[in-house]
Amino acid sequence: MACIMDGNRRWAARRSLPENAGHRAGQAAALDVIDAARSVGVRWLTLFAFSSENWHRPGDEVAFLMRLVQSTVRRHALALHAKGIRCRFLGASDPRIPAGLRRDIAALENLTRENRGMTLTAAFGHGGRGDLVQAAQSLIRAGIPAESVTEELFAAHLPLPDTPDVDLVIRTSGEQRISNFMLWQVAYAEWIFPPELWPDFGTEPFLQCLDAFSRRQRRFGARPRTAAHVPTGVNLA
């Protein structure tokens, strides 16, 4: 499953606080959601932390976000490892990411590489269209004939190709946009748009979204199937 963490700046504006306060509050909400997902047995969780389009934001805001992510990685690396969480970053090869942060990201990925409790992916500097372009470039470099390209082969050339298709996407703040997020993997995802701004989205709203998902019927373009029941321990992607 995946979360588009939307609403940090609006949360701060409604409280007459600087935007950075919203981002700090959003960091705390993200940690709560990670723990909640792990506690109910979610096996794959992706958090949309920073998009390829977010580089167009004011420079001081971008610099603050880079520092916030770096402090989060450094502060929580050992705790995430102790919980058996494998941590990965989608898009973090962007050269605009500060070198020190790239080193810390690599260290966290290496530290947690063998963990199998839950795979946590931070989409950081990520853009879905960019991923599709990378896959096409990889196929071309491999010299694969056009007529040999299948959906399965194309997916194998995407970044982090072992990531399963997403079952559920939660986008907070009531906004209803894809925002160039994991375009290939969300093709048949269910979407839920809770009204809470991300800093207000903690354990209880998260569990409510899982409950709503469990009552949906997933059709995948065919006849109705049974509801997407989500018991504890489910391998939700």
Catalytically active residues are 6, 54
Distances in whole angstroms, Cα of residue 157 to Cα of each of 39, 133, 134, 174, 221: 32, 10, 8, 33, 25
- Structural contact between residues 11 and 200, judged by C-beta atoms closer than 8 angstroms: yes
| Phi, psi (degrees; rounded to nearest 5) at 67 | -65, -40
Instruction: Report residue 125 as tokens.
Output: 């500097």
- Structural contact between residues 129 and 51, judged by C-beta atoms closer than 8 angstroms: no
Radius of gyration over every alpha carbon of the chain, rounded to an integer in angstroms: 18
User: Distance between CA atoms of 166 and 182, rounded to whole angstroms?
Assistant: 9
Instruction: Report residue 175 as tokens.
Output: 């906004």
User: 55, exposed or middle or buried, with CB in 10 Å at 0-12, 13-18, 19+?
Assistant: middle
User: 33, exposed or middle or buried, with CB in 10 Å at 0-12, 13-18, 19+?
Assistant: buried
Helix (H, G, I), strand (E, B) or coil at 88: strand
User: Distance between CA atoms of 215 and 12, rounded to whole angstroms?
Assistant: 34
